[in-house]
């Protein structure tokens, strides 16, 4: 692939060692698809071809598919100690399957056929994709068309007669872009009638002409003596710049310039991707919690405090978070509804409740692990010191705690926790745990956008004697369509420029 990854002041290609830790993570998604232990959840049968495929390229057809995707994400995340990083691709594909179908059904466009052709290629070749959604946004108080610099949101500069488009702009917080095959761009928000140039979605190779990846890499501390799986894990985050990129017609999934009526679907695509992605978090976040709980339990044993009530309470708290978030994802899948295109969509309220709980607890989980491990994780001598001829033996002597655990295992345990909490990658994952897939505030917006508070208040009105009859309140399954309808009505009531 073309060297378009900017790490510092140089452009590098995918063989750069700083990219390797992210590739190590992606490698697990291929290994698991060919490992019989994971076969039930890591593979699926394509609804297009009937062929066996990697589930990361599958379009959910049943509630069982949603459950299997959640299980796959959870199990594979265990292998890397956190985010498996490939879920953006499957979530973008599923969102596109719903929205392109809806656009074509109303407007008679050909976006769904473009998508199906693209999907067949992705499945056949087990393509890795991510999703470029978050625009840099410029002035947050202004709409896309009101920005002083029109490129603050990704936009169509030219819509050509052959169906191709020329786009310009940038997407921030773009995980894994340097080591995916494809970048799928989607809108980041609801677009008004004047924002038609910003209603755009497409897919291009990650090294396509005009695509420039300005990156920061997250890595663990380099190991010289005590190699371990966690030491191989990392990522690269990108500010993905589309510098006058030409997108072929058959890779365009939304073009608000060519079809102004389709502009209203930008918001649905934004919400639909976020919705699927938050359901994926109900798989990976329980795994992350379990990794932290596992580390907490191990270090408690090595510190000789595993049987104390305070250690048990703290570890139990992390396990409880994992199980509640997972349960929210399971319940969301079981309340899933089939869209007209055949894609199964999980419940909006439960999905966002699970993701919100996970995000709000991530720093608390890290605090618990820090508390049980102690201050040594921040002051641990460098690894090479432990293998120095003069002081290595002394360091192994003085790291001892539980007499039943040898010094090297203690060293490995504390080195692992140091990586989890104090390496550049480990620290960045705490922020990602809060904001990835949308911050807790965005989950609040989504939940309250779909929740019928007026019906809910009927219970209180009855109990207070304000009304004579109590409503039989059963919450219906909520999909992003309902959330979008409520959001559109709110937007329409705002004065111009609000």
Beta carbons of 181 and 129 less than 8 angstroms apart: yes
Going by C-alpha positions, the residue among 167, 102, 166 that lies closest to residue 132 is 167
Residue 489 has what pLDDT? 65
Q: How confident is the model at residue 473 (pLDDT cuts 50, 70, 90)?
A: confident
As a whole number, the mean pLDDT across the chain is 94
Closest CA to 5 of 235, 248, 187: 235
The 10s digit of each residue's pLDDT in 254-299 is: 999 999 999 999 999 999 999 999 999 999 999 999 999 999 999 9
Q: What is the pLDDT of residues 148-205, one digit of tens each?
A: 999 999 999 999 999 999 999 999 999 999 999 999 999 999 999 999 999 999 999 9
Query: Is the pLDDT at 483 greater than 70, yes or no?
Result: no
Q: How far is CA 442 from the centre of its chain?
A: 14
pLDDT at res. 496? 55
Q: Quick one: pLDDT at residue 495?
A: 57
- What pLDDT does 494 receive? 60
CB 293 within 8 A of CB 286: no
High-pLDDT (> 90) share of the chain, %: 86
> What are the percentages of helix, strand and coil residues in the chain, rounded to 5?
55, 15, 30
What is the model's pLDDT at position 98?
A: 96
Condensed to tens digits (0 to 9), the pLDDT of residues 206-223 reads: 999 999 999 999 988 889
Using the structure block, give the residue that is written with the tokens 């139990």.
316
- Provide the pLDDT confidence category of residue 439 given band limits of 50, 70 and 90: confident
- Nearest Cα to 358, choosing from 439, 479, 298? 439
Q: Tell me: the pLDDT tens digits for 400-435? A: 999 999 999 999 999 999 999 999 899 889 988 888
**Whether the Cβ atoms of residue 52 and residue 31 lie closer than 8 Å to each other:** no
Query: Angle 140-90-58 (CA atoms, 0-180°, nearest 5)?
Result: 155
Residue 285 confidence (pLDDT): 95
Domain chopping of the chain, boundaries: 5-276, 278-446
Q: Secondary structure of 385-438 in the HEC alphabet?
A: HHHCCCCHHHHHHHCCCCCCCCHHHHHHHHHHHHHHHHCHHHHHHHHHHHHCCC
CATH homologous superfamily, domain 5-276: Butyryl-CoA Dehydrogenase, subunit A, domain 2 (2.40.110.10)
Q: What is the pLDDT of residue 175?
A: 94
Cβ atoms of residues 319 and 289 within 8 Å = yes
| pTM reported for the whole predicted model | 0.93
Cα atoms in the Cβ-side hemisphere of radius 13 Å centred on 317: 16
**Who has greater pLDDT, 366 or 456?**
366
Whether 24 and 232 have beta carbons less than 8 Å apart is answered as: yes
Q: Mean of the pLDDT values across residues 14-25?
A: 96
User: Quick check: 311 pLDDT over 90?
Assistant: yes
Tally of CA atoms within 13 A in the half-sphere of 388 that contains its CB: 11
Between the CA of residue 157 and those of 165, 199, 200, what are the distances in Å?
8, 12, 11
Closest CA to 231 of 34, 20, 56: 20
**Nearest one of 292, 57, 88 to 173, comparing CA atoms:** 88
Residue 346's nearest CA partner among 6, 66, 91 is: 66
Q: Residue 491's pLDDT is what?
A: 60
CA distances from 171 to 9, 239, 263, 313 (A): 20, 6, 19, 42
Using CB atoms within 10 Å of the CB of residue 293, give its burial: 0 to 12 exposed, 13 to 18 middle, 19+ buried.
Answer: buried
Q: So what's the pLDDT on residue 482?
A: 66
What average pLDDT score do residues 450-474 get? 89
Yes or no: domain 278-446 corresponds to CATH 3.40.190.80? no
Give me the pLDDT at residue 434, please: 87
């Amino acid at each position: 692939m073309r060297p378009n990854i900017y790490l510092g002041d140089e452009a590098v290609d995918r063989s750069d060692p700083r990219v390797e830790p992210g590739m190590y993570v992606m490698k697990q998604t291929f290994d698991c698809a060919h490992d019989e232990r994971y076969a039930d959840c890591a593979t699926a049968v394509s609804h297009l071809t009937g062929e066996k495929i990697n589930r990361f390229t599958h379009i959910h057809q049943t509630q069982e598919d949603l459950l299997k995707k959640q299980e796959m994400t959870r199990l594979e995340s265990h292998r890397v100690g956190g985010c498996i990083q490939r879920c953006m691709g499957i979530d973008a594909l599923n969102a596109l399957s719903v929205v392109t179908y809806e656009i074509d059904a109303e407007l008679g466009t050909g976006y769904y056929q473009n998508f199906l052709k693209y999907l067949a290629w992705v499945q056949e070749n087990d393509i890795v994709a991510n999703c470029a959604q978050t625009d840099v946004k410029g002035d947050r108080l202004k709409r896309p068309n009101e920005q002083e610099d029109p490129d603050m949101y990704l936009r169509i500069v030219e819509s050509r007669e052959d169906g191709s488009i020329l786009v310009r702009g940038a997407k921030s917080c773009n995980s894994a872009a340097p080591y995916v095959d494809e970048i799928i761009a989607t809108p980041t928000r609801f677009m008004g009638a004047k924002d038609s140039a910003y209603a755009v979605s497409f897919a291009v190779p990650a090294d396509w002409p005009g695509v420039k990846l300005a990156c920061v890499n997250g890595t663990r501390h380099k190991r010289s003596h005590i190699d371990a799986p966690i030491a191989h894990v990392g990522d690269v985050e990108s500010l993905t710049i589309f510098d006058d990129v030409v997108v072929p017609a058959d890779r365009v999934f939304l073009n608000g310039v060519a079809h102004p009526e389709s502009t209203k679907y930008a918001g649905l695509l934004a919400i639909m991707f976020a919705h699927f992605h938050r359901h994926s978090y109900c798989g990976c976040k329980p795994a992350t919690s379990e990794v932290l709980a596992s580390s907490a339990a191990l270090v408690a044993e090595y510190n000789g405090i595993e049987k104390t009530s305070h250690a048990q309470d703290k570890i139990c708290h992390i396990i409880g978070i994992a199980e509640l978030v997972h349960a929210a994802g399971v319940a969301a899948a079981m309340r899933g509804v089939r869209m007209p295109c055949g894609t199964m969509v999980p419940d909006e309220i439960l999905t966002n409740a699970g993701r919100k709980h996970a995000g709000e607890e991530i720093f608390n989980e890290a605090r618990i692990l820090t508390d049980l491990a102690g201050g040594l994780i921040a002051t641990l001598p460098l690894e090479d010191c432990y293998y120095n001829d003069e002081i290595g033996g002394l360091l192994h002597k003085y790291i001892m705690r539980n007499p039943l655990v040898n010094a090297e295992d203690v060293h490995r345990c504390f080195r692992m926790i140091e990586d989890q909490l104090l390496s550049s990658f480990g620290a960045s994952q705490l922020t990602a745990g809060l904001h990835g897939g949308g911050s807790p505030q965005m989950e609040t917006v989504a939940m309250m956008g779909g929740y019928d508070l007026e019906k809910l208040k009927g219970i209180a009105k009855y109990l207070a004697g304000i009304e004579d009859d109590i409503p039989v309140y059963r919450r219906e399954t909520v999909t992003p369509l309902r959330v979008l309808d409520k959001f559109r009505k709110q937007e329409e009531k705002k004065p111009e420029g609000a």
